[in-house]
Structure 1
Amino acid sequence: MSGHERSGGPVRRGLRFLAARWRVLVRLGAWSVLETAQTFLVGYAPARALDAGFLAGRTGTGLAWLAVAAVGVVAGAYGTGRVYRAVADLVEPLRDRLVERVVARGVREADGGALSRLTQQVEIARDTFAGLVMVSRSFVFTTVGALIGLFSLAPALLPVVAVPLAAGLGLFLASLRPLARRQEAFLTADEALAGHLGAVCPGLRDVTAAGAEARIAADVGERVDAELRAARSLARWSVLRVAALAVGGQLPAVLLLAAAPLLLDRGVTAGALVGALAYVTQSLLPALRDLVHGLGTSGSRLVVVLRRLTAPARPASGTGTPVPPPARRGGTRPSPALAVSSLTFAYGPAGTPVIDGLDLTLPAGSRLAVVGPSGIGKSTLTALVAGLLTPRHGSIHVCGHPVPGPAAAARRVLIPQEAYVHGGTLAENLGHLRPEPVPEEELLAAAEAVGLAPLLDALGGPDAVVDPAALSAGERQLIALTRAYLSYAPLALLDEATCHLDPEAEERAERAFAARPGGTLVVVAHRLGSARRADRVLLMDGPRTACGSHDELVRRSPAYRALAGGRPPSQPALAAGDADRVDPVAGPGLAGDGRHVVAHRPVGQVQAPRDLRDGGALGGQG
């Protein structure tokens, strides 16, 4: 659909809406005639009071004309009150129609954004439409009354006022369309920045833990710059509104004063000149100012909101498990879920590579467990796949899309060890990675699959308000796992994301992820059970790095055999000596929340208050 069609659609629908309510428009126009009479008397009565009254020595006549002007003000106020009633009869049906459309979309089409449209956007459209009706009507009838009054006082006054008024109005109308486009661009840029910050701010701890501050700052900076460019463009075009107001509303007063000698020589009386100034300063200038600010700002805002309210709904995602990405056409071989080629990474130009020349291909739907000593690069690998770190050499592709890149980012989800839960309802936490609210049936099914259902019931259901500080580390991990499960990303990266769960809960969560349609799972293993359940195991141990099934590695890898046969469990890297530099534990001098445990002992031995039972670290199971 072209831009012209999109902009013309609301206009055509608006004209049909007004045509169907012609009786209301007639009543609105009839009461507005009183406002025209009031405007006419604002200039005509003082002019007659001067010419026929005070300047002619007839004080009574002058006071009588002033009394007529006062009567006109009272009559105009009465008409304005009736105008508000007529506007209500015009606006409320619009609101009702919009509510019907939003409710129909929300109920019949399962539109997740219906609540926002019903509670906020409909009211914005209603109030803005009412304001536009009032300022447009007022400008039309005020201008008519003032021009009639100028002609009645002295025809010579009419061109002095009408010509600059028409020029200012024409300048404003010519700038209206480009101004509306730039205002919509600014709103879009502002929403993009707000949406990006809403996604980034809850994960600041994970960003810091993964060392991705520079990249996140660059991404946010790009959106800030985009909003700044849109704001500057909007400001430049807004200058035309000021120019239109100066030409149409203020220039006529200057011309009347400058041309006063010439006008008086041509028979224009002093009273008529004063009346003309009253028309300009008391009627035309305020009416034009209201029109410029109302139509220039609120008009484009109304168009934007109406487009969103009347746009077709996005298809619903359905219930149950997340919708997998569409399959490739034509029977071509699908891309692997993860393809790593000659991957090399080191912290710093002179640093020893943590990962050196790694090649790995993971088909869609498979499970990979990543094991190895602490500090060997397991979390670094997940950070590289997630695009939080940039490799020195090599390439990474997620579902055929290069990392980093928006397409790859949309197809993977990373769940770190320190799970984040924000304030708000449980449903808002679980649906954080979805562009629209998650239907309750799908949310409950995901909670049951991952193992969150008992906690969900204990908290009071999806609408219960969550207090993150009152949750244990294991409970936070269950919420983060269910949130990732509900995302549309087919590749899930669990970086010790189940370390605070007991073995049974860990197994249930991993099996749920493995059962997602088209889902692929990479687990940085905390326990040996994760490696036994996986299709393949990647042992990261420097030159002894190996990949295969659990049984294969037990047979051919002494390092893996030692790890699986009872070697002391790996020690989580501390902040001061973390070779991966992605340890999420707060370092010295950083404020903590009093709920997190610094793992100076094996992860399997760490217990936080109210944590779920932990069954032991990798290597602790036979």
Structure 2
Amino acid sequence: MTAPLLRVGRAVPVRLVCWSLLEAGQTFLLGYALARALDAGFLAGDARTGLWWLAAAAGAVVAGAYGTRRVYEVVADLVEPVRDRLVAGVVARGVREADPGALSGLTQQAEIARDTLAGLVLVSRSFVFTAAGALTGLCALAPPLLLVVLPPLLAGLALFAATLRPLARRQEAFLAADEALAAELGEVGPGLRDVTAAGAEEQVAARTGQRVDAEFRAARALARWSAVRVAALAVGGQLPPVLLLAAAPWLLAHGVTAGALVGALAYVTQSLLPALQNLVHGLGTGGTRLTVVLRRLRPPPDPGPSPTPAAEVTPGAPALSFSAVTFAYGPASTPVLDGLDLVVPCGGHLAVVGPSGIGKSTLTAVAAGLLHPAHGAVRVCGHPVPGARAAALRVLIPQEAYVCTGTLAENLGLLRPDPVPGPELLAAAETVGLTPLLDRLGGPDAPVRPAALSAGERQLIALTRAYLSPAPLALLDEATCHLDAEAEARAETAFATRPGGTLVVVAHRIDSARRARRILVMDGPRTAYGTHEDLLRTCALYRELVAPGEAAGSQPPLAL
């Protein structure tokens, strides 16, 4: 999974290496210039030469600082697309498969992966180029210096490498405990009122406390390995300067100058030790976390090609059916849906209207399988909800549209197993009304920056993505609220006339209801169902919702 996630152009790693070489040059000159300033300058009685070498070292520090700043920019270009791909994968699994780990994956693990990958790249790159610059400098000053510095450095690295596997195991145990705690809190939080009403505070507190204690134990086991990291750091970074001082008489006797010895101490204390500290703490914590998180976010193995959704539709079954469905946000709460019976035939077009907060979005969430009714049955194309087959046959477009960093074609093809052919993509964009935005961005292969798009533009991308999906049932939960009336009409008409498609739309304007073949009016536990003309005659609430627009000739939102 790591290789596709790190898919970047050649320019990014090339830039990273170039700016890192600038830092390596700073490291090399730090010790070498100091040694030359002493041997050829101050100790030889030539202060001017000594000052020139010190000035060269100072200039290298300034250049290295500039290189470090540019390195951070390159690392951002490397890790932000990785985070977007991880989030897209987590959201897809959470929506399609009701993955219980999606909450922790989206809110914590994807962010852990982004942050730790950035830290891992920075510390690993810094250690490699710093060590290369320092060791090259030691060899240039006097090869015997390497005999003192290199063995403990390698021993410290080997000891540190031996801790990585145990750290990874304990990190995975910690993340598993965190997921369990997040799932527990996700269940307890929305039902606190019902817990209090039922007098179950002690039982719920005890169960939640067990989850908290399990995460604490996992975190403590992870922390114990910090002692081994400290030992590795002591051997690899703090032992070399001690050995240099202890071996100073032998080194001076074998041709090492005083300036070279001082330069070697500078290499060890000012370059190798800080770089090793960053590597041990960064890679020891962040590297193992990244490995575990990527493994836990890896999608399940592909079972191979599956039948197309059209082949899974039960012959003669309606596109959506509710049978005596009751749903409430808690056992003691007033039902939002109370014994609801509803049938939407294949190819149908239903608009759901009602006052704001009455439960229209709840109905679409129940239809999509995101919420589970207390009683009754929901089916999509004959398959029970929730279920993998039903999930493959419906697509839900919420009010807040998600757009990821990538090309426009990648965004539009997120719900397709294979890339969308160019002609089909362009035809869908024209039908839904995305063509002006597509042309402005520069075509399907143009990069998309979500922050640069308006809410309406993001909705058009999400609508076109849903239009291109193979799912026959489209659930639009105020998915056009940021579009003007003309763009909304075009998008809804596209879904209503999609071959083999069925549309259920939470209406935002009166015209949405007029365009629908059937309308469901929600009024708490009461509902009314029929055509626009039928409901004007028989439903007082519908007349109230429609009356302002009828009188003024405008098309206001339906919500009261």
TM-score normalised per structure 1: 0.48
Name the CA shift for 1:202/1:50 in 2 (closer, same or farther; >3 Å): same
Specify the alignment match of 1:561 in structure 2: none
Give the one of 270, 275, 285 matched to 2:263.
275
Specify the alignment match of 1:25 in structure 2: 13
Q: CA deviation at 1:189?
A: 0.7
What pairs with 1:489-568 in structure 2 (closer than 5 Å)? 513=375
Name the CA shift for 1:190/1:274 in 2 (closer, same or farther; >3 Å): same
Name the CA shift for 1:267/1:242 in 2 (closer, same or farther; >3 Å): same
**1:34 aligned onto 2:22:** yes
Equivalent position amino acid for 1:175 in 2: T
Specify the alignment match of 1:200 in structure 2: 188
Contact 2:171-2:292 within 8 A present in 1 as well: no
Equivalent position amino acid for 1:25 in 2: P
| 2-structure distance, mates of 1:93, 1:46 | 42
Contact 1:179-1:238 within 8 A present in 2 as well: no
Q: CA deviation at 1:203?
A: 3.9
Q: CA deviation at 1:84?
A: 3.9
Name the CA shift for 1:208/1:277 in 2 (closer, same or farther; >3 Å): same
Residue 143 of structure 2: SS of its match in structure 1? coil
Give the one of 37, 43, 47 matched to 1:55.
43
Residue 256 of structure 2: SS of its match in structure 1? coil
Residue 355 of structure 2: SS of its match in structure 1? helix
What pairs with 1:28-427 in structure 2 (closer than 5 Å)? 28-95=16-83, 97-98=85-86, 101=89, 124-204=112-192, 206-207=194-195, 210-312=198-300, 416=331, 418-419=332-333
- Percent of paired sites with the same residue: 65
Name the CA shift for 1:130/1:248 in 2 (closer, same or farther; >3 Å): same
TM-score normalised per structure 2: 0.53
Contact 1:40-1:148 within 8 A present in 2 as well: yes
Name the CA shift for 1:445/1:133 in 2 (closer, same or farther; >3 Å): farther
Equivalent position amino acid for 2:185 in 1: L
| 2-structure distance, mates of 1:486, 1:90 | 34
Q: CA deviation at 1:60?
A: 0.9
Name the CA shift for 1:420/1:128 in 2 (closer, same or farther; >3 Å): farther
Specify the alignment match of 1:579 in structure 2: none
Contact 2:112-2:290 within 8 A present in 1 as well: yes
| 2-structure distance, mates of 1:262, 1:225 | 56
Name the CA shift for 1:158/1:515 in 2 (closer, same or farther; >3 Å): closer
Contact 2:15-2:74 within 8 A present in 1 as well: yes
Specify the alignment match of 1:394 in structure 2: none
Contact 2:28-2:137 within 8 A present in 1 as well: yes
Residue 157 of structure 1: SS of its match in structure 2? helix
Q: CA deviation at 1:242?
A: 1.9
What pairs with 1:610-621 in structure 2 (closer than 5 Å)? none
| 1-structure distance, mates of 2:322, 2:239 | 63
Q: CA deviation at 1:30?
A: 3.1
Name the CA shift for 1:172/1:159 in 2 (closer, same or farther; >3 Å): same
Residue 204 of structure 2: SS of its match in structure 1? helix
Contact 1:321-1:446 within 8 A present in 2 as well: no
Residue 57 of structure 1: SS of its match in structure 2? coil
| 2-structure distance, mates of 1:236, 1:447 | 56
Contact 2:120-2:282 within 8 A present in 1 as well: yes
Contact 1:203-1:420 within 8 A present in 2 as well: no
Contact 1:322-1:488 within 8 A present in 2 as well: no
Across the aligned residues of Structure 1 and Structure 2, the Cα RMSD in angstroms comes to 5.0
| 2-structure distance, mates of 1:238, 1:13 | 32
Deviation digits for residues 519-556 of structure 1 (CA, Å, limit 9, x no counterpart): 9xxxxxxxxxxxxxxxxxxxxxxxxxxxxxxxxxxxxx
Name the CA shift for 1:285/1:86 in 2 (closer, same or farther; >3 Å): same
| 1-structure distance, mates of 2:207, 2:95 | 37
Name the CA shift for 1:88/1:215 in 2 (closer, same or farther; >3 Å): closer
Q: CA deviation at 1:235?
A: 1.2
Q: CA deviation at 1:300?
A: 2.9
Q: CA deviation at 1:258?
A: 3.0
| 1-structure distance, mates of 2:233, 2:173 | 24
Give the one of 327, 336, 355 matched to 1:458.
355
Contact 2:31-2:266 within 8 A present in 1 as well: yes
Residue 225 of structure 2: SS of its match in structure 1? helix
| 2-structure distance, mates of 1:168, 1:420 | 65
| 2-structure distance, mates of 1:463, 1:249 | 63
- Which has the larger share of helix? 2
Contact 1:322-1:487 within 8 A present in 2 as well: no
* Residue segments in structure 2 that go unaligned for 5+ positions in a row: 314-318, 343-351, 385-523, 527-560
Q: CA deviation at 1:188?
A: 1.8
| 1-structure distance, mates of 2:195, 2:83 | 44
Contact 1:185-1:230 within 8 A present in 2 as well: yes
Contact 1:109-1:313 within 8 A present in 2 as well: no
Equivalent position amino acid for 1:260 in 2: A
Q: CA deviation at 1:197?
A: 3.1
Deviation digits for residues 538-589 of structure 1 (CA, Å, limit 9, x no counterpart): xxxxxxxxxxxxxxxxxxxxxxxxxxxxxxxxxxxxxxxxxxxxxxxxxxxx
Residue 267 of structure 1: SS of its match in structure 2? coil
Residue 458 of structure 1: SS of its match in structure 2? coil
